[in-house]
Amino acid sequence: MLSLSKTETVSFDREVDTAVLPEHLAMCLRGVEAEDVHIVANRVTFRGGVFRMVWNWNVLVPFGFGDLMVDSDNCEVRYTLSYRQLVVFGTGLVTIMLVFVLVLSAFRNLGILLALPLIWFFMVFGNLGIGFARFRSFVDRALASAPHLPISQR
């Protein structure tokens, strides 16, 4: 079965205080209205997704859940985002549209059926293309605003 998730790694400066970085990332996630934000050691988990009372342009809308893992030895944050919810929601919506087209058109105008796969493609992959870029930018901004080590500890 497909995992329907994406993992990516982002590097950060050695001056970033990795001891407080998970808490900072959790605070940034709460700032974009993530739900169920939990910190366990160097890992931050969260829930996002379509079914929250947030603006449609919220950075977490395309992703049902995810996690961020701080690797202090390599100065990297590895994040994984699940887009399973978006695929299931998009497929369900297009399936409902298909049923309505078939019932209401009574097979007279089936040209619209050719458009439904395109609608699904743009609904899912359009949201993912924008969503991945926006989440990467979110992580970059979170890392840029992360607390740094005192000069004496660098």
In a domain, 26, yes or no: yes
pLDDT at 2: 72
Residue type, 103: V
How far is 28 from 53, CA to CA, in rounded Å?
18
**DSSP for 3-22, written as a single string:** --EEEEEEE--TTB-TTTHH
Q: Answer whether residue 104 is part of any domain.
A: no
Closest CA to 143 of 72, 47, 54: 72
Closest alpha carbon to 97 in 125, 121, 114, 116: 116
Share of the chain above pLDDT 90, in %: 75
Q: What is the pTM of this model?
A: 0.89
The enclosing domain of 33 has a CATH number of 3.30.310.20
- In whole angstroms, what is the distance from residue 110 CA to residue 34 CA? 41
pLDDT digits (tens, 9 = 90+) for 40-75: 999 999 999 888 888 878 999 999 999 999 999 999
Question: Is 16 contained in some domain?
Answer: yes
Query: CB of 77 within 8 A of CB of 12?
Result: yes
Per the domain annotation, does 20 fall within a domain? Answer: yes
- The candidate with the shortest Cα–Cα distance to 63, out of 143, 119, 133, 146, is 133
What's the structural domain count of the chain? 1
Residue 49 and residue 85 in contact, taking contact as beta carbons nearer than 8 Å: yes
- Point out the residues of the chain with pLDDT beneath 50: none
pLDDT at residue number 116: 87
Tell me, yes or no, whether 76 lies in a domain. yes
Q: Which structural domain range is residue 60 located in?
A: 5-85+128-147
